[in-house]
Amino acid sequence: MSRFNQKAQEWDLSSMRQSIAQNAYNAIINNIDLDKEDSVIDFGAGTGLLSKKIALHVKELLAIDSSEKMLQKLDELHIKNIQTLHQDISKFQTDKKFNGIVSSMTMHHIKDLDILFDKLYQLLDENGYIAIIDLMSEDGSFHTDNEGVHHFGFSEKDLTKLVKKHNFKDIKYTKIYTVTKENRQYDIFLLSAKK
Ligand SMILES: C[S@@+](CC[C@H](N)C(=O)[O-])C[C@H]1O[C@@H](n2cnc3c(N)ncnc32)[C@H](O)[C@@H]1O
pLDDT of residue 1: 58
Long-range contacts made by residues 57-66, C-beta under 8 angstroms, separation at least 24? 57/29, 58/34, 58/99, 58/100, 62/98, 64/89, 64/92, 65/4, 66/2, 66/4
pLDDT for 186 beyond 70: yes
Pick the CATH number of 3-194 from 1.20.1280.290, 3.30.230.10, 3.40.50.150, 3.60.150.10: 3.40.50.150
Percent of the chain with pLDDT over 70: 99
Structure confidence by residue, pLDDT tens digits, 113-130 = 999 999 999 999 999 999
pLDDT at position 85 is 98
Distance between Cα 88 and ligand 1 center (Å): 9
Is the C-beta atom of 67 inside 6 A of ligand 1? Answer: yes
For 16-37, how does the pLDDT look when each residue is reduced to its tens digit (9 = 90+)? 999 999 999 999 999 999 999 9
Atom 14 of ligand 1: nearest residue by CA position: 44
Structural domain boundaries of the chain?
A: 3-194
Question: 129-156: per-residue pLDDT in tens?
Answer: 999 999 999 999 999 999 899 999 999 9
Regarding the beta carbon of 48 and ligand 1, being less than 6 Å apart is answered: no
